[in-house]
Amino acid sequence: MNIFTFPLRFRSKTLWSDPARKIQTLESFSQTEIDAGESILRALKYVNNPHLREHLKRHAKDELRHGELFRKRAQELRKHRPSIASISNKPDRLYNLSRGNVDAELNSHGFFTSDHFEKLGEIMYVAMLNIAEKKAEKSFSIHRDLIRNDLKTYAIFEKILKDERYHVSYTSKFLQQWRKEGRTKQVNEALSFAHGSRLLNTLTRISSRFGEHIGHAILYIVYFTIVIPFALLSKFSCPSKGWSSPTSKLDANQLHSQF
Ligand SMILES: [Fe+2]
Ligand SMILES: [Fe+2]
């Protein structure tokens, strides 16, 4: 048992054992993969290196195909369970390959947005792809292992994993080539930057979750230490509500005027 993959393996078990979550996760994966494919297509217009262009074109096609494979499988499963709610437009709430929130920097696949290719250049973009694809490969192999009892879905993960390995391989080769060309410093900086962005993304996610828990804890404390005790106190100290008989009879003769 790999201790580094244990948390993901543990969390993902429930995704596949619950039929509703299984369908929704496949739909979520589909959107994530399509998002990745479209992101690469958008970045393509800034790529001048013809070899890199060819690989990125194939990469984009692969991601779009993965999205379609997941979507079709979810559709097949949904036929048997039409009442299961479809996922929202925010698939990342269900499952996120980058394990971070969607923001301006990273999409749900852990890719930089296409703007970054123009701003940061090819080395940075390929370093980011390399790290994101390694993460995707690791994540998909865990899901494939957990879905062994569903041969059709298992086969889809097998197919996709072959492509993910190619994505890791070609991006690694480009980084290696740039190192050979004397651009080691740039490659190292790009990898550190890409790792740093992911780390920042993860920390933001953890802190936002942590903040949410702290908020809940404060609400509970306020509720049990202030709201409930004061509500009880006011209940027992207030006179009973409703009509009550006057303590002494009012003498009509004493009423001379209403003012
Ligand atoms: Fe993919
Ligand atoms: Fe990929």
* Dihedral of alpha carbons 102, 106, 107, 110, sign: negative
Query: What distance in angstroms lies between residue 194's CA and the mean position of ligand 2's atoms?
Result: 16
In a domain, 256, yes or no: no
pTM: 0.71
In a domain, 255, yes or no: no
In a domain, 258, yes or no: no
Only one residue has tokens 């244990």, namely 6
Residues 87 and 85: their CA atoms lie apart, in Å, by 6
Ligand nearest to the CA of 133: 2
In a domain, 228, yes or no: no
* Cβ neighbours around 39 below 10 Å, total: 22
Q: Is 249 helix (H, G, I), strand (E, B) or coil?
A: coil
Query: What distance in angstroms lies between residue 163's CA and the mean position of ligand 2's atoms?
Result: 7
pLDDT at residue 232, rounded to an integer: 74
In a domain, 253, yes or no: no
Residues 94 and 61: their CA atoms lie apart, in Å, by 24
Ligand nearest to the CA of 31: 1
CATH code, domain with 40? 1.20.1260.10
In a domain, 66, yes or no: yes
Average pLDDT per block of 10 residues along the chain, 259 residues long: 73 84 91 91 92 97 97 93 69 50 52 66 92 92 93 96 97 97 94 80 60 66 71 66 55 52
Tally the domains of the chain. Answer: 1
E strand or H helix that includes residue 9: helix 6-17
In a domain, 202, yes or no: yes
148, two tokens: 């062994």
Query: What distance in angstroms lies between residue 100's CA and the mean position of ligand 2's atoms?
Result: 17
In a domain, 160, yes or no: yes
pLDDT at residue 102, rounded to an integer: 44
Residues 24 and 91: their CA atoms lie apart, in Å, by 9
Q: Domain span at residue 139?
A: 11-218
pLDDT at residue 101, rounded to an integer: 43
